[in-house]
A and B are shown apart, each in its own frame.
Chain A
Amino acid sequence: MALTALDIYKLLPKTNCGECGQPTCLAFAMQLASGKASIDLCPPASVEAKEKLSAAAAPPLPKVTVGTGEREVVLGDETVLFRHEKTFYHPTAIAVSASDDLPDAGFASRLAAIRRLSFERVGQRISVDLVALRCGSGDADRYARAAAAALDATGLPLVLLAPAGPLAAAVRAVAPSRPLLAPPPEDLVPGAKLAAENTLPLRVRARGIDGLSVALSAARAAGAASLVVDPSPVTPREAVDFATNLRRLAILSRNRDLAYPSAFDLGGFPDPFLAAALLVPKYGSLLVLDSADPAELLPLLTLRQNLFTDPQRPIQVEPGVYPIGAPNESSPVLVTTNFSLTYFTVRGDAEAAKVPAHLLISDCEGMSVLTAWAAGRFTGESISKMLAECGIERTVTHRTLVLPGMVARLSGRIEELSGWRVLVGPQESSALPSYLRRLPPGAFLPVHG
């Protein structure tokens, strides 16, 4: 449970010495309670106070990192059970598997297929995050070579799913890339030792939460510290149950012994896609899938993108004037809102028209056209104000605006307030290409005076 300022104050020296930069211990306690300061700033604090306070400040679900640098994947470090309470911070990591017993050419094309699982949606890149390397060969050297090749070909961090022997060989080959070690349950102890020696993260797999409780003790005893857990469910519903209760143990019970990010190897699962789609909202931190079919990965990655956006802050773009192609002073002027989904949809459609244009992005707090209209953020007034202030009147010589068809009713007010002429565009921007190409040549003639 989070401590109150008063709880914290009781633990401080109460001397008001000022070393922390605050005038009083109470002021400092308030800073600590709101997460604005750390106990390290108070040198006179007792060891006991320091321990208590840093434990209370630690996230209820610890953070585990796999990989390094730009491709580093963060697992765990979540604070709530429901995203509307705050937000979910670290998107469910998705790993797609490759097996080292594929013939060399097949292995290379599998890696290439995994690397292609990367898509652009509403201005963000959504991609598969890791390669899960299965040891089908049983051959340590072959497995180590495959690990090096996978790293080389994809640049993605690795999950090493292998028995102790091949695992050790792969660690020698790729340890600096910080792979996640995922030995089978029977090799837990040698795997944990390997993780401890190389300070690498370890996946602990055992049957159910009770099984994990035992296995985790063994892993910790062998020195492994950075852990993720796979309760090895056998159905999608059981996976949801285990993942939910692991997350509750971390957040509601503050059970430190079981507070680890969850990882699910869905290979061999009866219906891996279904399980994956349920585990994205329901607390899966890492999912290993055998499918590299974009028709499956694109929906999953989109679901993840949706659920891991901050509910308080829609994905949005900067308001302003955006060029489509290379527009000039007589190119059409279109207007829309700054909701990313709206902007990228309209931009894509306008680009497909191959008619250069100026796209005005109006500040609507990241709302879609109709939502912004309903909320009073996309109005005759706001659009007229934008026309006057964004500089477009100096850029173009005409005064004709293309309005989204859904808000045709704004045209009169805009014409009245701004002096611009309004053309009502199609309702769906997908009709923009034919609409723009069919506009009469005189639509954007200069105005004088």
Chain B
Amino acid sequence: MSVVLPIPVFPGRILAVTLPAGPGGTPVTVGGQNALPLLPEGEHPNAPAVGMEVRTGPQELPPALSGAIGPFAGDPAGMARKCAGDWGARFLFLSLAGCHPDAGGQSVSEGAAVVREVLSATPAPVIVGGCGDEEVDARLFPAVAEAAHRPVFLSYAEEKNYRLVAGAALAYGHGVVSWSPIDINMAKQMNLLLADLGFPPDRVVIDPLTGGLGYGMEYTYSIVERIRLAGLSGDAALARPVLCHLGDAWKAREATDASEASWGDVVARGQRWEETTGLACLAAGADLLVCRHPASVARLSGAAWR
């Protein structure tokens, strides 16, 4: 006699969202599920997708990253080709950090040119991230929206800038990443605000801010889990795919510090640090993961697929 399992049946379903690809590329569709992550129950038409960050501007890479991606510093198009071609990234997160005034301050038009260059280098789906400086980003996003010759996602729209970012995205047919700082109510509010602007819901993914392992993961884990449970339980404003950017994993001292011999090899440790952050996000319900280490792509994709 077999044991009857109390498998929950949810009334809601996560909206399927597609990150569009260029000619000859493979778009990434995530969402569409009506059950909790990693389990065989319910329907999961789309597995979570793992992408990689491509960053402009000068960066100081920790030991685990410098060997792997160091050779591509200053070459975003080359890096993009490598990520999508050899490393198996299903999409790219192009961070225009180089436009930040503290990071050498590439001009807005230089930033937009990098976007065009990357979009021509690979047909993979692309999410374009701002530089983090409010004032610069306010000029950067409209320029990027105009420069991108195929649909991308703009990251990110938040409380202060969403009209501008969503407006630019609407005008040129792009999607947006809806951002809030580890707060389920703000995540919901952001999506309602975007809906009020008439932004198509199937062109929005949620970024709830990912605290890295040992650096806020305890908050992120529960917020992602709560967003997913709310979405599955029928809250349409939260029934969206969730994106977790694992970049914060590299802020932890344990991921980068070679001086503690008792912590083991810093290269292996850094890579595990990012991977562990990603696995926790997958367990909580993330649909899109952005990583910085090429090895994480294969390992996290392996965990995400059945």
Contacts and interface: CB of A to CB of B under 8 A. Distances in A.
Given A294-B264, A302-B254, A209 B276 contact: no
Interface stretch (A32-40, A274-282, A316-324, A438-446): A274-282
A191 B266 CA distance: 42
Interface string A284-324: 00000000011111111011011101010000000000000
B222 A303 contact: no
Given A82-B225, A84-B226, A293 B213 contact: no
B214 A306 contact: yes
A413 interface: no
Interface in B185-236: 213-215, 217-219, 221-222, 225-226, 229
Given A277-B280, A281-B284, A306-B217, A253 B6 contact: yes
Interface residues of B, number: 44
A16 to B, nearest CB: 40
Interface string A251-273: 01101001000000000000101
A123 to B, nearest CB: 13
A245 interface: yes
Nearest to A81: B8
B275 A277 contact: yes
Contacts of B276: 277, 299-300, 302-303
A281 B215 contact: no
A301 to B, nearest CB: 10
A210 interface: yes
Contact of A298 (B5, B254, B283, B284): B254
Contact of A245 (B5, B253, B306): B5
B303 interface: yes
Of A210, A248, A271, A277, chain B has the most CB atoms within 10 Å of the CB of A277
B202 to A, nearest CB: 27
A18 B212 CA distance: 55
B273 interface: yes
A314 to B, nearest CB: 8
Contacts of B222: 82-84, 311
Interface stretch (A91-99, A173-181, A233-241, A330-338): A233-241
A256 to B, nearest CB: 13
A436 B148 CA distance: 47
Contact of B268 (A210, A293, A300): A293
A9 interface: no
Contacts of A255: 3
A202 interface: no
A278 B214 contact: no
Contacts of B5: 209, 245, 248-249
Interface string B264-287: 111011001101100110111000
Nearest to B268: A295
A240 B283 contact: yes
Contacts of B279: 274, 277-278
Given A295-B263, A311-B222, A237 B268 contact: no
A296 B39 CA distance: 25
Given A116-B262, A210-B2, A296-B264, A281 B283 contact: yes
Nearest to A428: B251
A274 B302 contact: yes
Of listed B215, B218, B229, B280, residue having the most chain A CB within 10 A: B218
B283 A282 contact: yes
Contact of B272 (A282, A295, A309): A295
A25 to B, nearest CB: 34
A97 to B, nearest CB: 18
A278 B268 contact: no
A65 interface: no
B299 interface: yes
Contacts of A281: 221, 280, 283-284
A240 B265 contact: no
Contacts of A84: 222, 225-226
A199 interface: no
Contacts of B8: 248
B69 interface: no
B197 to A, nearest CB: 26
Nearest to B40: A241
Contact of A294 (B263, B283, B306): B263
B8 to A, nearest CB: 8
Given A240-B39, A281-B284, A294 B262 contact: yes
Interface in A199-223: 209-210, 213
Contacts of A384: none
B254 A210 contact: no
Given A82-B225, A294-B262, A299-B276, A258 B3 contact: yes
A271 B213 contact: no
A249 B6 contact: yes
A274 B265 contact: no
B218 A309 contact: yes
Nearest to A279: B283
Contacts of B217: 303, 306-307
B38 interface: yes
B269 A298 contact: yes
A385 B262 CA distance: 42
Nearest to B2: A210
A252 B6 contact: yes
A119 interface: yes
Contact of A213 (B3, B39, B266, B283): B3
Most buried by B among A116, A210, A241, A299: A299
B46 to A, nearest CB: 16
Contacts of B284: 281
Interface in B1-50: 2-8, 36, 38-40
B218 A299 contact: no
A91 to B, nearest CB: 12
A306 B39 contact: no
A188 B98 CA distance: 63
Contacts of A236: 303
A102 B217 CA distance: 39
Contacts of A307: 217-218, 221, 280
17 contacts: A119-B263, A237-B306, A245-B6, A248-B8, A258-B3, A271-B302, A274-B279, A274-B302, A274-B303, A278-B38, A293-B268, A294-B263, A298-B264, A299-B275, A302-B276, A307-B280, A309-B218
Given A302-B276, A303-B280, 8 more contacts: A209-B3, A237-B40, A240-B39, A274-B279, A277-B276, A297-B264, A302-B214, A341-B214
Which 10 residue pairs are nearest across A and B when measured between Cβ atoms?
A295-B264, A294-B264, A295-B269, A295-B268, A277-B279, A306-B218, A299-B276, A252-B6, A84-B222, A306-B217
